Structure 1
Amino acid sequence: MKRKFNLLPILLISIIFFFLNAYVLTGLQSLYKSTWLSPVFWFIVLSLTFALIIAIRKLRSAGMNSFFQIISHVFLILFTAEIIFSAFLIIGDAYRLIFALPSSFEPEGYHVLTRNNAWLYFSLLMFALTVLVFGYGIAKGKYAYRVIKHTLYFEDLPEAFDGFTLTQISDVHAGSFTNPKEVQKGIDLINAQNSDLFVFTGDLVNNAAAEIIPYIKHFSQIKATYGQYSVLGNHDYGDYMKWPSEQAKVQNLSQLKSYHADLGFKLLLDEHIKITKGNDQIILMGIENWGIGFGERGDLNKALQGTKTDDFKILLSHDPSHWEAQVKNNPSKIQLSLAGHTHGMQFGIEAFGIKWSPVKYRYKHWAGILTENGRYLNVNRGFGFIGFSGRIGIWPEITVIELKKKSL
């Protein structure tokens, strides 16, 4: 049955978009009195909108391309800057209407209803600063790698693993990279941690396996004493582009799995391995992508087969919604889960005690450490980027976790 097309959301967005631009234009007209301002403004807005529509229509057939990247980024930056500009305009207009309205009935009082030029220029400055912030995020922020360290304590950690360290990265999205030298800086930072174990929690590419080829020589440099392990993410299955045939899509996934091996990563597909140190061991599990709304492929029970309830277990599972749904209350205790997927939406603020990103409205826990029911979840903010070719406030992350034995 053909899916029914819903025109209402598009209509509402179009109306909001029109009135936003109309309001922005009134602000510009308050500063610049010119007959050509309005036609030039609407020509730019409509041209950019039509270009974006064309780019989106080509996206599924052609995949991510430079035309879409340029148009979508210009549109996103200007749209966001317009929202900021409008917000300050509203503040100024509200002030005039609320506090200056009584004076407007006095002789010559109509002057107080005109916009204040100083406030208009300040609003325009906020517009410019928004553009500059986005510019920084695109030019520098997407490669501004951060090492975030956590020390986690467990009562049931085997003695030999007290002080054991692991490094986690997630969401490489190799098809988005444009600067191999900057990527190499991230690889060097990973190796500088000298962790005992390295894990990658999915989304090696955006769509096609071939995206990782130019970076195999970079990521294959990653080494850890107890090995390098990985899982698949939702983008790795090629679900977000049109393939010439189902066979081509299957072949792409098969090729991607072989590239994990070329990287030196042991891909865990609903399975587990035992890591032995001295006379003790821990269980490392990995499942295929399981995420609400992003494909529930993984089989946790299959990965748990052959393990004991009281074994110390670490789970690699790309999507943090899996932890909520199947892990945190599982009868077989999984002490530590490692996920990614959210990217922190590549936009937000984590400073001055504030931790906020729009992704919080989709995911209950979207970055960092969470503990419930005596179990830990870490959500990595991602190593790469997709969609928006930049990061603002939510920087690319290399996580280092040290396991410690908790004294009874």
Structure 2
Amino acid sequence: MKRKLNIIPLLIVAFMFFALNGYVLSGLGTLNQSTWLSPVFWVFIVGLTFALFYAIQQMRIQGINRFFQIVSHTFLIIFTAEVVFAIVLLLGDVYRFLFSVTGSFNGNGFHLLARSNNWVYFAFAMFCLTIALFAYGITQGKYAYRVIKHTLYFDDLPKAFDGFTLTQISDVHAGSFTNPKAVQKGIDLINAQKSDLFVFTGDLVNNVASEIVPYIGHFSQIKAPFGQFSVLGNHDYGDYAKWPSEAEKIKNLDQLKAYHNTLGFKLLLDEHVELHKNGEKIILAGIENWGIGFGERGNLNKALANTATDDFKILLSHDPSHWDAQVKNYPSNIQLSLAGHTHGMQFGIEAFGIKWSPVKYRYKHWAGIKTENGRYLNVNRGFGFLGFSGRIGIWPEVTVIELKRK
């Protein structure tokens, strides 16, 4: 029996969408009262909407293609810019309404003030600025790699590792790359840090192991004296792709694991290694993806088996929700955890003392360093991108952490 489609939510969304566009058109009409404005505006909006529906239908059959990317990104940019325009315009309309009401209370009669052209021009300027920001994020921002450095202090860091450095990247999502030369700049930036250790915290691909093949020559250049280590992320398991059989899905995962080895990455699957220096050691552990809502595969107990409570430990775990759920209160001390996954949603602001992204409403800690119970967590903002082919305000990150003994 087919499930009945509930049309009411669709009607509500459609009404809100066309109400938004009608309000935007009213603002544009303040600046330009030409008779052609309204029909041209609606032809464009309706045409773009139908193109999006068609692109979605084709994407379900053929997968994500160039047409879908162009249409979906155009729709996203225009829609976001319209929301910004409408918010600014609404502030002006509310002000003029309230001012008119105040005037009526003073006995001047109620005459709604006309919109200020200057305010509408300001709203339109914000509309254009939004489009410009998205254009920058798509063409430049997604490859605008940043090095972010942290120095962390520990009472129990072995003396031999005082000043030890590690470079972390996360969320490569190789299937999204379109510019090998830009990716190479990121690789050069990683190697330029000359860290003692390199770690990768998951999501090498979007869905299919073959996505990394064109970039094996790039990522295999990464070298560090104490080695290159990695873990899997939620996208690496192929959970978001359709497979002819479970056997094909498993084969894909096995191939991806083999590619880690080809890259020169030691893949840690619920296991640990000992890093030795001048007769002392630290533990580097890595678990399979463990994330609330994204598969709780990893086994922390297994990864730390046969380690001592007072060993100095660094944990690679893709999803930061694992830290809150298990790691920060784990009986055996895990001094530093390294995660990724959030991408900072590839959109937000980190400037002038402000740190905000919509992803904060999903994750308690979504970027940078957090400390609790004497333990540290670093969430890398991601090296690549997914979904939205760009970054605005949350730039791709190469993290460098220096360990210091107090």
Provide TM-score, normalisation by structure 1.
0.95
C-alpha distance after superposition, 1:310-335 (max 9, x if no partner): 11111000000000001000101111
Task: State the Cα distance separating 1:117 from its structure 2 match.
Answer: 1.5
**Distance in 2, Cα, partners of 1:324 & 1:2:** 41
Q: Which residue does 2:145 correspond to in 1?
A: 145
Q: Which residue does 1:89 correspond to in 2?
A: 89
Task: State the Cα distance separating 1:243 from its structure 2 match.
Answer: 1.9
Query: Closer, same or farther in 2 for the Cα pair 1:4/1:241, shift >3 Å?
Result: farther
Q: What letter is aligned with 2:95?
A: Y
Task: State the Cα distance separating 1:60 from its structure 2 match.
Answer: 4.4
Q: What letter is aligned with 2:144?
A: A
Moved more, 136-145 or 95-104: 95-104
Matched, 1:99 2:91: no
Query: Closer, same or farther in 2 for the Cα pair 1:3/1:244, shift >3 Å?
Result: farther
**Distance in 1, Cα, partners of 2:164 & 2:263:** 23
C-alpha distance after superposition, 1:21-64 (max 9, x if no partner): 11111111222223332232222222222222232334344333
Contact residue 270 and residue 285 of structure 1 kept, 8 A: yes
Unpaired stretches in structure 2, ≥5 consecutive residues: none
Q: Which residue does 1:274 correspond to in 2?
A: 274
Q: Which residue does 2:194 correspond to in 1?
A: 194
Unpaired stretches in structure 1, ≥5 consecutive residues: none
**Distance in 2, Cα, partners of 1:270 & 1:57:** 40
Equivalences for residues 246-325 of structure 1 within 5 A: 246-325=246-325
Query: Closer, same or farther in 2 for the Cα pair 1:330/1:356, shift >3 Å?
Result: same
Query: Closer, same or farther in 2 for the Cα pair 1:102/1:320, shift >3 Å?
Result: closer
Q: What letter is aligned with 1:390?
A: G
Query: Closer, same or farther in 2 for the Cα pair 1:196/1:347, shift >3 Å?
Result: same
**Distance in 2, Cα, partners of 1:404 & 1:263:** 30
Matched, 1:34 2:34: yes
Q: Which residue does 1:72 correspond to in 2?
A: 72
Q: Which residue does 2:204 correspond to in 1?
A: 204
Contact residue 166 and residue 198 of structure 1 kept, 8 A: yes
Q: What letter is aligned with 1:124?
A: F
Query: Closer, same or farther in 2 for the Cα pair 1:256/1:61, shift >3 Å?
Result: farther
**Distance in 2, Cα, partners of 1:3 & 1:382:** 39
Moved more, 340-349 or 117-126: 117-126
Counterpart of 1:68 in 2: which secondary structure? helix
- Percent of matched pairs sharing the same residue: 74
Task: State the Cα distance separating 1:102 from its structure 2 match.
Answer: 5.3
**Distance in 1, Cα, partners of 2:207 & 2:371:** 33
Q: What letter is aligned with 2:189?
A: L
Q: Which residue does 1:16 correspond to in 2?
A: 16
C-alpha distance after superposition, 1:251-292 (max 9, x if no partner): 111111111111100111111111111111111111111111
Contact residue 60 and residue 242 of structure 1 kept, 8 A: no
**Distance in 1, Cα, partners of 2:84 & 2:202:** 35
Say what the alpha-carbon RMSD is for the aligned residues. Answer: 1.9
Query: Closer, same or farther in 2 for the Cα pair 1:236/1:3, shift >3 Å?
Result: farther
Q: Which residue does 2:156 correspond to in 1?
A: 156
Q: Which residue does 2:342 correspond to in 1?
A: 342
C-alpha distance after superposition, 1:189-234 (max 9, x if no partner): 1000000000000001111111111110000000000000000111
Contact residue 61 and residue 242 of structure 1 kept, 8 A: no
Query: Closer, same or farther in 2 for the Cα pair 1:169/1:6, shift >3 Å?
Result: farther
Q: Which residue does 1:183 correspond to in 2?
A: 183
**Distance in 1, Cα, partners of 2:60 & 2:198:** 34
Counterpart of 2:377 in 1: which secondary structure? strand
Query: Closer, same or farther in 2 for the Cα pair 1:63/1:333, shift >3 Å?
Result: farther
Provide TM-score, normalisation by structure 2.
0.95
C-alpha distance after superposition, 1:148-205 (max 9, x if no partner): 0111111111111111100000000111111111110110010000000000000011
**Distance in 2, Cα, partners of 1:54 & 1:73:** 14
Q: Which residue does 1:374 correspond to in 2?
A: 374
**Distance in 2, Cα, partners of 1:402 & 1:308:** 23
**Distance in 2, Cα, partners of 1:4 & 1:266:** 50
**Distance in 1, Cα, partners of 2:154 & 2:4:** 52
**Distance in 2, Cα, partners of 1:189 & 1:348:** 23
Counterpart of 1:331 in 2: which secondary structure? coil
Q: What letter is aligned with 2:41?
A: F
Q: Which residue does 1:174 correspond to in 2?
A: 174
**Distance in 2, Cα, partners of 1:326 & 1:5:** 40
Moved more, 126-135 or 6-15: 6-15
